Structure 1
Amino acid sequence: MVDFILTLQVPYNIIGCLDKNNDPLNKMVVLCFQKSSNKLLACLYENYVDSDPKTGGKEKRKQAASFQSVSQLQKENLNKLMTNLRCTHFVLCLIPNETKTPGIMDAFMVLHQLRCNGVLEGICRKGFPNRIIYVEFKQCHRILNPHAIPDDVFVDSRKATEKPQPVQVWTHQGVI
Structure 2
Amino acid sequence: MPTIFRLDASIRNEGSVTRAVATTLESALLANAPDTKILRRDLAHAPLQSPVWAAALTGSHAPQGQRTPEQHKALALASELGDELSQADAFIFAVPMYNFGVPPHVKAWFDVLISDPRFSPRSAKPIAGKPAYLVLARGGAYGPGTPREGWDHATGWLKLSPPVSVWSVLTL
More strand by share: 2
Asked which structure has the greater CA Rg, the reply is 1
TM surpasses 0.5: no
Q: Which has the higher contact order (CA 8 A, sep 6+)?
A: 2
Q: TM-score under structure 2 normalisation?
A: 0.20
More helix by share: 1
